[in-house]
Amino acid sequence: MKKPAIISGIASCMIFTLLVFNACQPPAQEEAEQAREAQGGIALGGNLQVNESQKPASLYPASINDRHSSHLATQIYDGLLKYNAENLELAPNLAANWTVDETETVYTFELKKGVMFHTDECFGKEGKELTASDVQYSFELLCKAGDDNKNFEGTFKGKVKGAEEYNAGSASGISGIKVVDDYTVEISLVKADKSFLYNLAHPATAILAKEAIDKYGKDAKIGTGPFAYGEEGGKVVLSRNTKYHRNDAYGNQLPYLDKVTVSFEPNKDAELEAFFNGSQDIVTGLNLDPVKTIMEERINDFEGNNAKYVLVNASEIAGYDSYTLYRKSVKGFSDNFMNYHDYSVVQKAE
């Protein structure tokens, strides 16, 4: 897959000839985090300000079927696998590794040890570590019949043994999902299906905790993801999960950011105004007309060592006219045709 090209310098003027057809607070941490020391020249801390044109319809994984909900859910929850936002390749996440038998129908996943759910009173003072039972519980929720379940058909139906029987109420469990021990879960498929692993990176297959669902129901918004959910002043505030389980290649714990603030502005002109007045850091999904105006009026802000902004032509990977605008201080943000955003690897170097 081709990466989007960064448009900068005099070459940015060529844009005119491009083809155009193509309410709660964040949960408090129980212990203060020690000061972080960056390795490998990584910038740590900061508040990334982003916008969604609509509020999420639902953050309950089985109900998520729109990109606005997916963008937030990906930051709050983890699945067994995840996508690399830069190239959309599958990568381990809650599953440290996995194997498949010679029939290619039985997958065995070894979970990471020591992965903790977000701090919340529903888990008591000791918190809660992820186990294979949480995986089984979450997949049973995904296969449970109900009007709010919009993802069973596209994920496990016809793929996982016993999923349809469980959905129909004729079985008390899913025969194809087996807890081997606290850190091992086995999934048996109806038949070999190489695409199945991609389902395990979908927000619908995020891993939840029974304690959180029992206390808060489908409004729980508690996972093991890089950020913990909160609200403030009509915005969603995603606060850094100080116990997050992933590190980068230099050993820095992710996420780099302290928080992500998400506004909900449907009007693109208003969104651009917020960007240029400093209250937003990234604008995605721009079409060519406003981009032409921006480049005509602000060409100097995109050129040279003192450039303020970066413009990316994402039209080719999106398959339609689409540009992304962000501050030069923002590093590591990847836009892609799947609208998969991973803020855990984004830096904001002030």
Maximum CA extent, the chain? 66
We report the CATH number of the domain holding residue 25 as 3.40.190.10
The mean pLDDT of 275-286, rounded to a whole number, is: 96
Distance from chain centroid for Cα 124: 27
Residue 234 belongs to some domain of the structure: yes
- The answer to whether residues 229 and 311 belong to one domain is yes
Co-location of 46 and 85 in the same domain: no
Q: Do 115 and 201 belong to one domain? A: yes
Helix 288-298 to helix 268-276 angle, to the nearest 10 degrees? 30
Tell me, yes or no, whether 214 and 109 share the same domain: yes
Split at pLDDT 50, 70, 90, the class of 277 is very high
Same domain, 287 and 334: yes
Do 85 and 213 fall within a single domain? yes
Of 112-116, 183-187, 303-307, which range is least confident? 303-307
Residue 51: name the closest of 222, 220, 267 by CA.
Answer: 267
pLDDT at 270: 97
What confidence score (pLDDT) does residue 337 get? 73
What tens digit of pLDDT does each residue of 203-252 get? 999 999 999 999 999 999 999 999 999 999 999 999 999 999 999 999 99
Q: Output the pLDDT for position 318.
A: 58
Q: Is the pLDDT of residue 16 over 70?
A: no
Q: How many other C-beta atoms are found inside a 10 Å radius of the C-beta of residue 268?
A: 15
Range of the domain at 175: 78-219
Q: Mean pLDDT score of the chain, rounded to an integer?
A: 90
pLDDT cut 90: percent of the chain above it: 82
Q: Does the pLDDT at position 22 exceed 50? A: no
Say whether pLDDT at 1 is over 70: no
Domain membership flag for residue 336: yes
Question: What's residue 14's pLDDT?
Answer: 32
Which of 4-8, 177-181, 290-294 is the least confident region?
4-8
Provide the token pair at 194: 């190489």
Mean pLDDT on 85-108: 95
Domains held by the chain: number = 2
User: Do 270 and 337 share a domain, yes or no?
Assistant: yes
250-270 per-position pLDDT tens digit: 999 999 999 999 999 999 999
